């Protein structure tokens, strides 16, 4: 550890770096972007010497700085790092660095490392520690913890401090002219939106008590040419499952020597965090990623970070059958037995019993909270079903929605005060339900005990953990007054997930929230899969998953084969298209297989076999996406980290005016290598809008495929078949020795 106070310090890894100057009152960023190499004294001095912008007319008489804790004291008139007050006083924070600790990793610090900064502020009587950590993949995380310390203030800070906001904000250069982030709705999560960095603030708030279907997800500031494989990008994500705020902001005077800022912080409700002497607030981790290789470069760093976690799922991701769109609430042992038998036949390895198994849950308006097996439909309990599943060598999973309650439940009747919301009059239901106040120890213990009991009784391998409504008016009456409780509720959720995983080693958990309404790296630290969307329609799903993969690697994304006619869009699609789209993630089935004929069952079984063959690659490889001019077409793939094999999906969503694709380049391949290219038709042929394939495709359709150099595949490109809309083709490439 080095005492770095006053020095220029760098965190460097995998071609990225953050350089800060710790000489001022608060450290400031000198550079965030490409690695500048090991900084010698001359380079460090030069970076510092060039960090002061011009002093503009009609502005502060000293050069403005933009620090890691921007305040008005520094002349910063944009969104500050911290807002709050002590009954209307202490509104002008002036933190001052008291110590800096630098722990570089690697010989020249080329494997990242950490910089810890201690700050003390006499105005707000707060001590804080900011930890900047760069992992070896170049992803920067920033953690801040605050503690009220009355001894800092001359008057002993008798009034508690209300923290209104705390954000981590980093500066980005003038070439970051575009904003890309996400929005969405139920069944259309992670829809990208893009626009210019205008002067002013682009603020995205998640105020649903969860990230939401319209979550900003990953907020990117990038160069005008930003694409999947091109352009430079600076991105942020808040690893938090409660309320959040993301900001991209540009003032005419810039941000120190930079142009704009990007950052994130928890969205705090009025009076939610009040700190008396000695009390602490720990902010959620804000992640920052830079890439000079477009969006795929961002995703690559984030995927490598996640995959390096000790708890990252390392066993083969089992082919899953989920009962929801197969039987909904019709929990009938005979019907489910037939479904499980068919599932076993096509190679399913895990069966998940979805909503409908617990007391009083005959439809969606009752029962939430009563986590006892419903004896009216399961007279012998779940044992007979679980035993059948186990006899087939499959795992057993089950659905819970632990944070919710229906008023029509024994739980709500016994404990009406356990409902989160204003005590005098609850607001409207959503999906007929309310949120359970897990900040109450008794409610928390009750739910935890019920889940544990079911997991123990049936040796449950897997929980699908759902969360089907927003937290609106989320106040807890636990203390006798109604106080905002999203922060505490989110921490209670995390505590419960952590406790269950400790108590039941090997238990896996999927995070679901009406589909993909709660996909963030906070919950993913304690879960093993995200249900990306309730939409199994492959046209929608292909896009939802493509964008979900910007943050989440394919092995953590559930993707299911649905019915021919989508239950959520009514669109009809071919089996082969549905199967190909469901393949390149953590695959599963959510369809009543009784509807499938013999030919379909065989194709599904072949798909299951292909999934088992390819999942080692799909679940460890690098995700790549081609930048295509025709956005009715998609070329997306996964390339093994050693480059030895790659799998690409060529899909057409709609027709295009153009008849031909022209030469399309397969991204991520080695242009110096040769590849055996094979088009796999295990699951059926894609229907074409042409009378004959390009001749090389005819070769690739032969069982042994065709040999092509990487220079042609990845450099020059190859003409692709013109598919009919809603069709896809799978290309399997093996690098030749």
Residues that bind ligand GLA (CB under 6 A): 324, 354-355, 399, 466, 468, 512, 514-515, 531, 534
Chain-centre distance for alpha carbon 609:
29
Sequence-distant (6+) residues with CB within 8 A of 310 are none
CB 398 within 8 A of CB 466: no
DSSP three-state, residue 194:
strand
For 204-237, b/e burial (b = at least 16 CB within 10 A) is: bebbbbbbbbbbbbbbbbbbeebbbbbbbbbbbb
Number of other CB atoms surrounding residue 22 within 10 Å: 21
Chain-centre distance for alpha carbon 477:
32
CB 581 within 8 A of CB 541: yes
CB 575 within 8 A of CB 219: no
Sequence-distant (6+) residues with CB within 8 A of 155 are none
Q: What is the helix (H) or strand (E) element at residue 411, kind and residue range? A: helix 410-414
Nearest to 575 by CA among 538, 624, 616: 538
- Which DSSP symbol is given to 85? E
Nearest to 289 by CA among 413, 415, 180: 180
**Torsion of Cα atoms, 427 then 433 then 437 then 441, to 10°:** 150
User: Can you count the helices (H) and strands (E) in the chain?
Assistant: 13, 40
Instruction: Give catalytic residues, as residue numbers.
Output: 466, 534
Considering the complex, what minimum distance in angstroms separates the CB of residue 384 from ligand GLA?
Answer: 22
DSSP three-state, residue 146:
strand
Residue with tokens 């944070």: 403
Q: Which is nearer to ligand GLA, 330 or 417 (CB)?
A: 330
d(CA 386, CA 709): 51
Nearest to 356 by CA among 382, 321, 383: 382
Token pair recorded at residue 307 = 């995959």
Q: What is the helix (H) or strand (E) element at residue 244, kind and residue range? A: strand 244-255
Residue with tokens 């004291």: 73
Following DSSP, what letter does each residue of 149-176 receive, concatenated?
A: -GGGSTT---SPEEEEEEEEEEEE-TT-
Residue 557 backbone dihedrals phi, psi, to 5 degrees: -110, 115
d(CA 294, CA 550): 11
CB 640 within 8 A of CB 269: no
Number of other CB atoms surrounding residue 278 within 10 Å: 9
Nearest to 621 by CA among 635, 636, 641, 637: 641
Q: In what order do the strands lie in the sheet with 706-709?
A: 622-625, 633-639, 645-652, 727-735, 674-680, 706-709
Structural Rg of the chain based on CA atoms: 27
Q: What is the helix (H) or strand (E) element at residue 102, kind and residue range? A: strand 96-104
Point out which residues pair with 456 in neighbouring strands: none
d(CA 291, CA 104): 21
CA distances from 493 to 273, 371, 398, 461, 467 (A): 18, 17, 18, 20, 11
- Give 497-541 as a 3 state SS string: HHHHHHHCCCCEEEECECCECCCCCCHHHCCCEEECCCCCCHHHH
| Sign of the torsion angle spanned by Cα atoms 530, 534, 539, 544 | negative
**Torsion of Cα atoms, 426 then 428 then 431 then 432, to 10°:** 50
């Amino acid at each position: 550890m080095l005492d770095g106070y006053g020095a220029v310090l760098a965190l460097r890894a995998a071609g990225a770096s953050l350089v800060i100057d710790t000489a001022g009152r608060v450290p400031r960023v000198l550079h965030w972007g490409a690695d500048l190499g090991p900084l010698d004294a001359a380079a460090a001095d030069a970076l510092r010497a060039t960090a002061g912008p011009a002093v503009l007319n009609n502005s502060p008489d000293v050069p403005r700085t933009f620090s890691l804790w921007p305040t008005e004291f520094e002349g910063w008139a944009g969104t500050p790092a911290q807002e709050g007050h002590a009954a209307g006083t202490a509104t002008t924070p002036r933190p001052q660095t008291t110590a800096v600790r630098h722990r570089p990793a690697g010989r020249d610090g080329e494997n990242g490392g950490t910089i810890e900064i201690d700050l003390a502020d006499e105005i707000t009587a707060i001590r804080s520690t900011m930890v900047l950590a760069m992992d070896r993949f170049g992803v920067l995380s920033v953690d801040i913890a605050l503690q009220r310390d009355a001894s800092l203030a001359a008057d002993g800070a008798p009034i508690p401090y209300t923290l209104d906001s705390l954000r981590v904000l980093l500066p980005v250069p003038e070439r970051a002219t575009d904003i890309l982030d996400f929005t969405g709705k139920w069944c259309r999560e992670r829809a990208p939106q893009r626009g210019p960095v205008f002067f002013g603030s682009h603020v995205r708030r998640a105020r649903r008590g969860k990230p939401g279907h319209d979550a900003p997800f990953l907020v990117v500031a990038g160069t005008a040419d930003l694409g999947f494989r091109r352009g430079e990008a600076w991105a942020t994500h808040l690893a938090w499952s409660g309320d959040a705020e993301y900001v991209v902001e540009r003032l005419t005077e810039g941000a120190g020597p930079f142009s704009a800022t990007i950052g994130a912080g928890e969205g705090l409700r009025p009076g939610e965090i009040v700190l008396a002497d000695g009390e602490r607030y720990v902010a959620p981790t804000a992640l920052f990623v830079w890439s000079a290789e477009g969006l795929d470069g961002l995703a690559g760093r984030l995927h490598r970070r996640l995959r390096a976690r000790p708890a990252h799922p390392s066993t083969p991701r089992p082919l899953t059958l989920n009962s929801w769109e197969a039987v909904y609430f019709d929990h009938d042992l005979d019907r489910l037995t037939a479904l499980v038998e068919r599932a076993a036949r096509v190679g399913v390895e895990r069966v998940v019993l979805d909503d409908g198994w617990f007391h009083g849950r005959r439809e969606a308006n009752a029962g939430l909270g009563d986590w006892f097996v419903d004896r009216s439909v399961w007279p012998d309990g779940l044992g007979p079903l679980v035993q059948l599943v186990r006899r087939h060598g499959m795992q057993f999973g089950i659905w819970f929605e632990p944070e919710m309650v229906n008023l029509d439940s024994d739980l709500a009747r016994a404990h009406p005060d356990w409902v989160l919301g204003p005590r005098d009059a609850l607001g409207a239901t959503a999906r007929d339900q309310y949120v359970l106040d897990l900040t109450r120890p008794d409610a928390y213990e009750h739910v935890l005990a019920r889940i544990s009991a079911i997991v123990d009784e049936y040796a449950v391998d897997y929980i699908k953990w759902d969360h089907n409504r927003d937290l609106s008016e989320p106040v807890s009456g636990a203390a006798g007054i109604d106080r905002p409780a999203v922060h505490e509720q989110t921490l209670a959720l995390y505590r419960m997930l952590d406790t269950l995983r400790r108590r039941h080693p090997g238990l896996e958990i999927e995070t679901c929230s009406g589909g993909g309404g709660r996909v963030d790296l906070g919950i993913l630290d304690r879960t093993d899969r995200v249900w990306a969307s309730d939409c199994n329609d492959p046209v929608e799903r292909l896009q939802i998953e493509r964008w979900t993969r910007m943050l989440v690697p394919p092995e953590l994304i559930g993707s299911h084969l649905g019915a021919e006619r989508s239950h959520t869009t009514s669109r009809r699609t071919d089996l082969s298209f549905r199967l190909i789209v469901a393949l390149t993630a953590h695959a599963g089935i959510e369809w009543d297989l009784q509807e499938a004929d013999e030919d379909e069952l065989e194709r599904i079984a072949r798909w299951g076999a292909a999934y088992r063959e390819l999942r080692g690659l799909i679940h460890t490889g690098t995700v790549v996406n081609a930048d295509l001019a025709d956005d009715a077409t998609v070329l997306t793939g996964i390339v093994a980290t050693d480059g030895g094999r790659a799998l690409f999906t060529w899909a057409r969503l709609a027709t295009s005016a153009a008849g031909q694709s022209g030469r399309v380049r397969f991204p991520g391949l080695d242009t110096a290598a040769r590849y055996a290219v094979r088009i796999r038709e295990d699951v059926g042929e894609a229907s074409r809008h042409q009378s004959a394939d390009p001749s090389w495709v005819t070769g690739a359709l032969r069982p042994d495929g065709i040999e092509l150099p990487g220079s042609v595949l990845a450099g020059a490109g190859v003409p692709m078949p013109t598919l009919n809309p809603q069709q896809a083709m799978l290309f399997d490439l093996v690098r030749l020795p």
